[in-house]
Amino acid sequence: MDLHTTAVHAGDRKKAPAQIPVTTPIYTAASYISGSMEELDRVMGREEPGYSYGRYDNPTNAALEEQARALENGFGALACSSGMTAVQMAIAAALADRRRSIVAAGALYGATVGLLMNVLEPSGCAVRFVDICDLDAVRTAVAEARPGCILAETISNPLLRVPEIDKLAQIARGAGAALIVDNTFATPLLVRPLDLGAHFSVHSVTKFLAGHGDVLGGIVVSDEEHYDTLRRLARITGPVLGPFESYLTMRGIKTFPLRMDRQCANACRAAQMLSAHPQVERVYFPADPAHPDAAAIRRLFPPNLYGAMVSFELRGAGREEVFRFIDALKLIVRATSLGDVHSMILHPATSSHREISPKQREGMGIRDNLLRLSVGIEAAEDIIADLEQALGVG
């Protein structure tokens, strides 16, 4: 079934009374009544499907999880209260029966770096960062660190590097490690990490999947090997997404392929304009033929779909000039998120990567003149006109 069709129908209308609701209802119950103790015993023991307590699962959440599982072609999914919770749950499931050691991409979302360095390392988990696009460096790091898992992003935040997920999966499996891929920037429309051999695909559903700026949530889609562990840990720690947020996410996902198609096309046009502008020093965008990962992009991405994120550096700009440019924008909004229907801009050094030291940011290639643009579904001409007028403000 085509992904556009799957996004519309998956998850809904699974359990039917005489009349079937068109969309999955919002179930707000904290607990559920069973017909007998024998039935409750079987449900609690996961010997038969059913619901008992809201920390374990919920019919609205289950519908969203089925929708996400189908989009990512996984075995099962877990809806979480945030994208960072989803990352943490994936790592916990990956390391449950493995050595507490992680090899992670050197360029990651700032909060993910913080999770690794400020939460996992102090609790006894060894973390080693590596250029995830350099397969020889990855092989060396894996041989030396003997990790329980490898952590990467399909499209890195914010410099938009693209590793060879299938080859990372081969390295991980050869070392007995699990591969976790944050697929937020790419979405299942561009890449399905589990189809490429990954064990987990993680999303902040706040972004492109829900897509309307009204949901905070995350999701983990896993393979069969890790799903029972993922659910077992979730039943203990209770990371579950609320039923209202699950409903809103499902509603957003139904149109996500249409939105993403438009956003990808708009991003291409915005990147072309920025690349030609004299006030722009450099543009980072996967469609660039000179992109350092161009070969991987051609091989892994569908034709003419490169994502909706564009990062760029203002020529000779410091903090004052960067702020002046952002403040001059009239259509594109200043906000610390991405993936919404409206275009959004962010200054990584003071937002997404603020908690990372200046020295570490510099090592990651994140300079103070770098901006990250999430391109929305507005008319491309209006997005470009807003960028052009702001670049002209001096």
pLDDT digits (tens, 9 = 90+) for 337-368: 999 999 999 999 887 787 777 777 777 888 88
256-391 CATH, one of 3.30.70.270, 3.30.70.360, 2.40.50.100, 3.90.1150.10: 3.90.1150.10
pLDDT score of 357:
76
Phi, psi of 16 (to 5 degrees): -120, 125
Asked whether residue 394 carries a pLDDT value surpassing 60, the answer given is no
Asked whether residue 180 carries a pLDDT value surpassing 90, the answer given is yes
Kindly indicate the confidence band of residue 33, based on its pLDDT and cuts at 50, 70 and 90. confident
CATH 3.40.640.10 assigned to domain 3-253? The reply is yes
Asked whether residue 211 carries a pLDDT value surpassing 80, the answer given is yes
- Summary mean pLDDT of the chain: 94
Asked whether residue 13 carries a pLDDT value surpassing 70, the answer given is no
pTM of the model: 0.93
pLDDT score of 191:
98
Asked whether residue 226 carries a pLDDT value surpassing 80, the answer given is yes
The per-residue pLDDT for range 234-252, each reduced to its tens digit, is: 999 999 999 999 999 999 9
The per-residue pLDDT for range 87-142, each reduced to its tens digit, is: 999 999 999 999 999 999 999 999 999 999 999 999 999 999 999 999 999 999 99
Please enumerate in sequence order all residues whose Cβ is within 8 A of that of 206, keeping only pairs 6 or more positions apart, or say none: 82, 83, 215, 216, 217, 218, 337, 339
Asked whether residue 18 carries a pLDDT value surpassing 70, the answer given is no
For the chain, percent of residues with pLDDT exceeding 90: 81
Domain residue limits, the chain: 3-253, 256-391
Q: How many CA atoms lie within 13 A of 248 on its CB side?
A: 18
**Average pLDDT of the residues in 167-195:** 98
Residue 320 near residue 350, CB atoms below 8 Å:
no
The per-residue pLDDT for range 363-393, each reduced to its tens digit, is: 788 888 999 999 999 999 999 999 999 998 7
pLDDT score of 233:
97
pLDDT score of 242:
95
pLDDT score of 46:
85
Pick 211 or 57 by higher pLDDT.
211
pLDDT score of 354:
78
For the annotated catalytic residues, the residue numbers are 55, 109, 182, 207
Q: Using CA atoms, how far apart are residues 379 and 97, in angstroms rounded to an integer? A: 50
**Average pLDDT of the residues in 267-290:** 97
Q: Token pair of 292, please? A: 């350092």
3-state secondary structure of 37: helix
The two domains 3-253 and 256-391 share their CATH topology (first three levels equal): no
pLDDT score of 347:
92
Pick 7 or 227 by higher pLDDT.
227
336-340: Cβ within 8 A, 24+ apart: 337/206, 337/207, 337/213, 337/374, 338/207, 338/208, 338/309, 338/372, 338/374, 339/184, 339/206, 339/207, 339/208, 339/209, 339/211, 339/308, 339/374, 340/207, 340/211, 340/212, 340/213, 340/374, 340/376
